[in-house]
Every structure is written in structure tokens, then in C-alpha cells.
Structure 1
């Protein structure tokens, strides 16, 4: 088992590198979860609980409010970018931006801050990068929602040190075009479903995505084909062609509205919703969120993407995204994080959880 030393746990940069050098592609988080659990067990200021490959730790000081810090443990698949390498003030490698530099900050505070100004909870969870049904935070919200109770949550996703509020919802749909099978030597006896898919692609090409302001945050929507498939054999006219579509929707729409919009765009075609996750409004009018924005420098923007802040929102917990990684580098082969950005976010978080405002 990987053991995180006290020296590593005391240094946000060293801890980032140590976590990144534990391979933890989605579905294979046992080793990193074991390391996190071992690092927190036996600390007198924490109660540590585990379900599957998700660890939750909390202080129980009886203070008047509770703040949750959360980060996922998994990464996308390795792409020639594991293990890490350090080049000057830049740490390169899988997970450095999304999101082990942020997760390391939560673990650093959990291990080292014993006298916070409010009670703290920490969630380190698995399977965020894959389907929602396997997401550790999602499963915990169903099986152990009391473990996630808080007045405010900070999800340490990559934001490049800027508070990003709310998030887009995401919905995937399969648009199917039907035809009629025939032998390709007698093609006129069939109806080629692949040939008939052109109107679906034309609707996507001509689609005008909304730009929406929600609570002083600007969200850009998108409706895009992300896959296409059809065909039976080299001598058969296909009777079906499928277009996989992803819709990213602003937080003024819920999942019901998003589904209705997709069905409206593809009216006349067979539409099946295959995956969905809700949007989340910014919530910066909540005092706890406004206080954190001020502590982090006062600037904020919309989160263009889906994150688990939406999960907290469904539990009635206001939440924001905040972490040192650059979201534009997430999932890229040249993923990296700047050391000064890790230290700056560490200082802001430490001040927020320890200093009276």
C-alpha cells in the first residue's frame, strides 16, 4: 500500500505529486483510496468513514456551521502522461489539473488543520469521470446522505484559482433514423438509413446555441453530435443509423426542460435519452457562497461544464467550484499544473477555514 508520509501531507505541492503518481483511472481507485483512508485514520480531530472507494472525514467540534471540501480520486485513461515530471514551476502529468491538485488541497487541510473556525467535512470519491450511476458521490448521496450534510460545499475542480459558480447540465441522447434492409445489389428494394440521416446532421449544423446570463454568470450552451453508427454488412442496405448527441444546457433549464428541447429539435425522429445530469444555478446570493468568493479574491465566472456541485444542489447545499488546475487542460495529454497556483489556492483555502472574517 502507498503510504503518504507526514512530510508529504504537510506540503500541498508534494502531496499533489504523490497523488498523481498513484494510477487511479476510473474504476481502479482502490490503491489511492486506501492511501487517503490511511492518511486520515487515527487523527484525533477527525471521524473517518468509508463506503466502497469513497472516504468521508469530518470534524465534530459542535460549531455553528459546516463546510464540505470535496474532490474525486479518479482520472481519465493514461495517455503517455504517467507518472509526473517536474519542470521548473510546472508539474506535468495525468490528473495534475483534473483534479488531484485540488483533491490534494482538501487532503492537506483535512490532515493538518485541527482548529478550524467552523466544522469541516471532506469527501474523496471515485468514478467521477464516467457514467453518473457509478459516481461515488452520487451513490453516497443515495445511501448515506447524512455523511454529506453541510451548509456550504467547495468542490476543488480545476478553475485556475477563480471561483466558478454553478454548472451546466449535460444530457446525452440517441437519435435513430430507420430504413429498410435489402441486398446492396438490389438497393432500390430497400431504404438506406445512413443516407436518410442527413436531416439530423443538418439540424445540428444549423443549430443556434443559446448564451444565457444566470445570476450574473454567462453560460454558453451546446448541442453536438459526438458519435454516429450504422451498417449491417458490406452487401446489405442498412435499416438503421444512430447519431449520439450531447446537450450542455444552462442552469435556467432543468432536465425535464432539456429533454423537451432535444425532442423539439429532432421532432419526427426516434429519440432516446441515454444519460443525464442536472444543471446547478450559481447560488452566489447565499451568504456562505458570497463569503467564500470574497475570501478567494472577489472574482467569479460561470462553470462551463458539469461538475458535482449539481449533486450538492440536489441535497440543498450551496456549492462552488474552486481549484488550482486549468480546466482547459483537463483530459489532455499535456495536462499540467503551475506550482504557484497550487500554493496560492492553498493559502486562500487555509485563510478561509482558519481566520475569523
Structure 2
């Protein structure tokens, strides 16, 4: 159980959440603890779907916002339980993203009368394949629970606002040849050698930088895996290159797919995975008020986050959290305590206009 004392202090709450091990697929214990805390708050209506929690106010406000965060982590790397040294809290999930989830849970319990109606969302399986993602499942099964005018995803951003996100896709580029004995190589056609042209196109590729609403999104098209070959004495008749395309949110998935096929015209291209980007989402009134509370200009999110799921539902969304994204998934993962405190104060100013 999370005590009232712990829930009142975002730093202590971060520590308590970190110390509940919740590697993806093992979120039942932490979800139980968060659910109990939410259900003890009389101003919240709480719904649980699997290991995803939705807690909403119903105050009749003219606008509704979402504060969302995932409760799972990557596998522990000898970094539990948490430990604190001076201003630094070390431990699995401190940055990605239990410090952000702690801010949402603290406000859910201690801000009974925010100036917006608020939906607090805590979900599972963000760190694994998309099919298991609790937010994805909820959007498919209960989209009405996500209805809002604006969403804030408390992913690690080091206290900055990161707007929108890049789209991402993976594709396999395959080259074909003709198999032959390597002693009589002139009778064959080497598929691995043909792959050299595809790699040359990647070397010559010039990626775009796109400015949208003052945020600069850099694209990138890169080989991430390569394979081929039959045996040490055989000219191979097939080779493949896996490429990853990170595209600016002014491209749709279909446009991104078409662009990659154009780059590799003449080769077989099979898209194996893709997800859309999200536009900055800066124009919604709650977003403008949040940016004013932060007091610093937004920057582009260079990466993919679940803001894209909100964008697909027509809900503008931003990323904001106390953790450092460069420390996510590392053995050295940690969060600065003053970043937690500053993040909590920023969210209080935005939601309730001061201390709560």
C-alpha cells in the first residue's frame, strides 16, 4: 500500500513506485497499489481494464485533459531497490518513467478541484511489442475513456516540452541473384554484391529536416541489420538489408512507405512494421496554458512515443517528464530529485494555479 505520507510527496512516491518491480508483463502488484490509492480518493471514478487504470474527475469543467504514463519498465539490471545519493535517485524506472507516473498519481490524489476535468491514465506493457501495449488496447476497446481536448504524456524529457513525435517504420530490402558453385562463380549472380547498390543509396541519401510550428524534426533512413549467404563455397542467390526510417510527422505512414520504396526502386521492399508520427499539438488552449506554465519553448520529439496514439484519436498531445531520456534503459538510470520537484510544481501551476 502507498501511504498518505508517500502520496503527498512526489519524491517519496517515485521511490516507492521504483521499489515495486514491474518489468513488462509483471505489473499486477504495482497496478494494485496504484488502484488502491486512486480508489481512496472520493473525487475520482476509477476503471480498471487488465493492468491499465483510468481515473477521472467529473466536475463539469468545459475542457478535459489526460495525464498518462506507463507503469512497466525494461528488465532490471542490478539496479533495484532504489538508492539515493544527494540529489540523485538511482534505480530501474526512475527516469523511464516512474518519476513521471509519480507526478500524475500525486496530483490525482491531491488535486481534487483542478481547473480542467482530468483523466489520469496508468497503463502496462509500453516497453514491449505494440500488440501488448495497454494504451493501444484501451484505445481499441474503450476509446470513450480517452476522450479529451488535450493529453500530456509524462515520458522523460528532462523537464522540457517535447512536441509530437517522429513516425517510424522498418522494411526489408531484398536482393536476388543466381546460386552457383564459388569455383565457377561466373555461372552465378551474387546477391550480396547486388546489395552493395542498396547500401550505396543509403550512403548518398540526404535526410530532411522539417520545421513544424517552430519545432525541427530530423529524419533518418538507416540500415540496421544485414544478412545473406548459403555456404562458404556457394554464390548466394539472396541477401537482405533491414532499414529503419524515422520520418517527420508531416508525412503519413503511406507517404513514408512510398518514399522508402522510391529510394529503393528496383529492389524488393517489404514493410515489416510502422507507426505514424504526431504533429506538435501546440494550438489547443490547454496546451498553450501548459507551455506558459513551463515557461520554455517546446522542441521536437526525436523518437516515437504514445503521443501518436492520442493523435490518431484526434487528441493533441505533448511529452513532459522529469527524467533524462538519455538514461532510459541503462544500468545507470537515475533521476534528479530537483527535477521531480520542479515537474510537480509546473503541473500544479497548470492544473490548479499554485500549491495543492
Q: Shorter-chain TM-score: what band? A: over 0.9
User: In the alignment, which residue of structure 2 is the partner of 1:339?
Assistant: 337
User: In the alignment, which residue of structure 1 is the partner of 2:290?
Assistant: 292
Residue of 67, 81, 86 corresponding to 2:65: 67
Once the two structures are superposed, residues 294-350 of structure 1 have per-residue CA deviations (whole angstroms, 9 ceiling, x without a partner) of 011142111111111111111111111111011222223322111000000001101
TM-score (norm 1): 0.93
- Tell me how far apart the structure 2 counterparts of residues 93 and 179 of structure 1 sit (CA, whole Å): 51
What is the CA distance between 1:104 and its match in structure 2?
A: 1.1
- Tell me how far apart the structure 2 counterparts of residues 10 and 242 of structure 1 sit (CA, whole Å): 54
Give the 5 Å matches for 1:183-222. 183-184=181-182, 187-222=185-220
- Tell me how far apart the structure 2 counterparts of residues 205 and 30 of structure 1 sit (CA, whole Å): 47
What is the CA distance between 1:184 and its match in structure 2?
A: 4.8
TM-score (norm 2): 0.93
- Tell me how far apart the structure 2 counterparts of residues 283 and 24 of structure 1 sit (CA, whole Å): 31
User: In the alignment, which residue of structure 1 is the partner of 2:87?
Assistant: 89
- Tell me how far apart the structure 2 counterparts of residues 130 and 271 of structure 1 sit (CA, whole Å): 25
Change (3 A) 1:182 1:86: farther
SS of aligned partner of 1:70: strand
- Tell me how far apart the structure 2 counterparts of residues 232 and 38 of structure 1 sit (CA, whole Å): 58
Aligned length: 354
Once the two structures are superposed, residues 35-65 of structure 1 have per-residue CA deviations (whole angstroms, 9 ceiling, x without a partner) of 2222222421111111122111111122222
For the Cα contact (< 8 Å) 1:132–1:277, is it kept in 2? Answer: no
- Tell me how far apart the structure 2 counterparts of residues 83 and 102 of structure 1 sit (CA, whole Å): 18
What is the CA distance between 1:159 and its match in structure 2?
A: 1.1
Give the 5 Å matches for 1:102-181. 102-181=100-179
- Tell me how far apart the structure 1 counterparts of residues 181 and 22 of structure 2 sit (CA, whole Å): 48
Once the two structures are superposed, residues 162-195 of structure 1 have per-residue CA deviations (whole angstroms, 9 ceiling, x without a partner) of 1111111111111112233345555554433233
Change (3 A) 1:184 1:77: farther
User: In the alignment, which residue of structure 1 is the partner of 2:321?
Assistant: 323
For the Cα contact (< 8 Å) 2:82–2:89, is it kept in 1? Answer: yes
Once the two structures are superposed, residues 197-248 of structure 1 have per-residue CA deviations (whole angstroms, 9 ceiling, x without a partner) of 2122222222111111011111111111122222344554433222111111
What is the CA distance between 1:131 and its match in structure 2?
A: 2.6
Unaligned residue ranges in structure 2 (runs of 5+): none
Give the 5 Å matches for 1:226-245. 226-245=224-243
For the Cα contact (< 8 Å) 1:174–1:245, is it kept in 2? Answer: yes
Change (3 A) 1:187 1:71: same
